[in-house]
Amino acid sequence: MTRYKIVVEYDGGGFVGWQRQANGPSVQAALEAAIREFCGESVLVEGAGRTDAGVHALAQVAHFDLAKDTTPETVMAAVNFHLKPAPVAVLSAEAVAGDFHARFSAIRRAYLYRIVNRRAPLALARGRAWFVPQPLDAAAMHGAAQALVGHHDFTSFRASECQAKSPVKTLDLLSVTRAGEAIEIRAEARSFLHHQVRNFVGSLKLVGEGRWRAEDLRAALAARDRAAAGPTAPAAGLYLTEVGYPGG
């Protein structure tokens, strides 16, 4: 039995999320079906992050075990062949130690949230960014965001259905930058609460519009009450961009 680590890219628009569910297609199920077609084995593919419906990934990490004697190169090519036409691609595959776990071995996760800030509606970026027509002050958003960096109780930015044992997390990075009409919000931490990044973005949009000041964001954090923070930003703008592991 060999354990394989794969890095996966996908467009989450047509999926109910990463995790296998009865109410529609998932990325996990698509990968498991492709592996079964490749080698006849029914495997459990475990991912580093359980992305929600509509959320994309540039570099999701997952692992699974195979009894078949093969190579990482064959695994990548064969799984990609059987994934067609699903918008999922295995970018790399490697054999790893049997104690490697895509989720529990991870020490860092990075997300990107994309906003397109212009008057004209989206054509090419539809389903892959949040369209915000009213002007946003990205510098003000970045300045306010720094109040959230560090070790905090993030109850105000946690979904009601979040299953994490504690709302206390350490946020290592939260940055907001603008390049023309595109605003990029990047967040990094060991792990995140359910909807945490999207709830950050919804609150930062209020700052960008001038409806909130940095003090309002700090007050929302201190309230430890989901009702005190801004709305949840749409899933379409969110991307899992990187998962880090010891020694990597």
| Cis preceding linkage at 85, omega within 30 | yes
Catalytic, 137? Answer no
Give the closest residue to 248 by CA, choosing from 59, 26, 40, 49.
59
Secondary structure (DSSP) of 28-75? HHHHHHHHHHHHS-----EES--PBTT-EEEEEEEEEEE-S---HHHH
Q: Which of 101, 96, 93 is nearest to 2 (CA)?
A: 96
CA distance readout (Å), 8 to 13, 17, 59, 241, 243: 15, 14, 5, 10, 11
Indicate which residue of 52, 69, 153, 225 is catalytic.
Answer: 52
Q: Just list the catalytic residues.
A: 52
